C-alpha cells in the first residue's frame, strides 16, 4: 500500500497518495494555484449540455423538427408546447425569416465545446486526493484538483463559456423587452412562468454564478504572479 502525505493551506487540507503528492508539491497553496472543481458546476454541465445539444438540433434543423415535420417525433415532440409559448422558436420566426433564433442556436456550438473541453480535462487529468488515498471509488461529482497548464486552460474555458452563455441569455431576454414582448406576450402568467421564465432563468442564474466564481478565481490566480509593491515592480522592470 502506498503511503500518503497531508498537505494543508489555510482551511484546506488535502490528503495525497505518495504517487500523487510529488506532482502537487509544487502547486501549493492548493486553494490558489490549483483549480478545484465544484460539484454543482459538474452536475449543472452534465445536465445542461445534453439539453443544449437537443435545443441546438431543434433550432438548426427547423422546419423539419417543427410539429408536423419529418424529424419532429419523437425526439423533439416536447417542443410542440414551447413553439406555442415562444414564437421566436415557432412558425412566426420562420415565416418572417427572423435569423435571431438560428444565430443564438449556432452560438451554442462554441459554448458547448468549451464546456466539453472543461469536462474532458477535469475527468482525465483531475485528481480526487481523499478518495484515492482512502482506496475508495472516486465519486463522479466530487471535487477534483487540476493543476498546472491543464488547470489554467480548463478554468479559462469554463469561465469563457459561462460568460458567453450568460451574455446570450441576457440578450435573449432583452430582445423580448425591446420588441414589446412580441414573441411571448400572448401567454397567460402561468404559462409564461412555467415554460419561459423558469427555463431561461435557470440558465441565467447558473451561468451568472459560474462567471462570478471563476472570474474571481482567475483574478486570484493572476494576482499571485503579479508584483504588488513598487519595489517588486521596479525589480521586474530592471530585470
pLDDT for 234: 62
What local confidence, expressed as pLDDT, does residue 10 receive?
Answer: 39
88 burial (CB, 10 Å; 0-12 / 13-18 / 19+) is buried
C-alpha cell at 79: 417542443
CA distance 65 to 59: 8
CA angle 120, 124, 125 (to 5 degrees): 110
pLDDT of residue 6: 35
Which pLDDT value is given to residue 233?
54
Strand, coil or helix: what is 36?
strand
Torsion of CA 151, 157, 61, 179, to 10 degrees: 150
> What is residue 221's predicted lDDT score, i.e. its pLDDT?
86
Q: What pLDDT is stored for residue 128 in this prediction?
A: 84
Answer whether 172's CB lies under 8 Å from 200's CB.
yes
| Residues paired with residue 35 on neighbouring β-strands, in sequence order | 146
pLDDT at residue 29, rounded to an integer:
42
Residue 229: what are its φ and ψ, rounded to 5°? -110, 160
Q: Record the pTM.
A: 0.82
- As a whole number of angstroms, the distance between CA 200 and CA 109 comes to 18
- Measured CA to CA, the distance from residue 8 to residue 119 in angstroms comes to 26
Q: What does each C-alpha distance from 4 to 8, 18, 23, 142 come to in angstroms?
A: 13, 5, 13, 20
492548493: which residue's cell?
A: 30
pLDDT at site 18 = 40
Strands (E), 56-105: none
- Going residue by residue through the chain, which has 239 residues, state the pLDDT in tens, using 9 for 90 and above: 433 333 333 334 443 434 443 343 343 344 567 899 999 999 999 999 999 999 999 999 999 999 999 999 999 999 999 999 999 999 999 999 999 999 999 999 999 999 999 999 999 999 887 655 555 556 888 889 999 999 999 999 999 999 999 999 999 999 999 999 999 999 999 999 999 999 999 999 999 999 999 999 999 888 876 665 566 556 655 55
Q: What is the pLDDT of residue 55?
A: 98
Amino acid at each position: 500500500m502506498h503511503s500518503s502525505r497531508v498537505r494543508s493551506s489555510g482551511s484546506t487540507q488535502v490528503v495525497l497518495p505518495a504517487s500523487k503528492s510529488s506532482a502537487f508539491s509544487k502547486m501549493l497553496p492548493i486553494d490558489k494555484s490549483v483549480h478545484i472543481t465544484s460539484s454543482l458546476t459538474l452536475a449543472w454541465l452534465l445536465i445542461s449540455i445534453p439539453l443544449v445539444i437537443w435545443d441546438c438540433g431543434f433550432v438548426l434543423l427547423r422546419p423539419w423538427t417543427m410539429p408536423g415535420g419529418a424529424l419532429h417525433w419523437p425526439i423533439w415532440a416536447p417542443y410542440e408546447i414551447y413553439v406555442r409559448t415562444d414564437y421566436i422558436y415557432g412558425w412566426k420566426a420562420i415565416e418572417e425569416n427572423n435569423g435571431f433564433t438560428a444565430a443564438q442556436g449556432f452560438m451554442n456550438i462554441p459554448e458547448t465545446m468549451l464546456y466539453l473541453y472543461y469536462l474532458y480535462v477535469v475527468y482525465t487529468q483531475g485528481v480526487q486526493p481523499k478518495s484515492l488515498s482512502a482506496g475508495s471509488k472516486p465519486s463522479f461529482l466530487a471535487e477534483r484538483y487540476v493543476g498546472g497548464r491543464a488547470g489554467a486552460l480548463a478554468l479559462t474555458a469554463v469561465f469563457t463559456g459561462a460568460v458567453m452563455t450568460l451574455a446570450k441569455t441576457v440578450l435573449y431576454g432583452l430582445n423580448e423587452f425591446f420588441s414589446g414582448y412580441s414573441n411571448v406576450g400572448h401567454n397567460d402568467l402561468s404559462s409564461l412562468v412555467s415554460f419561459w421564465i423558469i427555463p431561461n432563468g435557470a440558465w441565467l442564474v447558473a451561468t451568472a454564478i459560474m462567471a462570478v466564481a471563476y472570474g474571481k478565481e482567475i483574478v486570484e490566480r493572476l494576482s499571485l504572479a503579479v508584483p504588488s509593491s513598487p519595489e517588486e515592480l521596479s525589480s521586474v522592470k530592471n530585470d
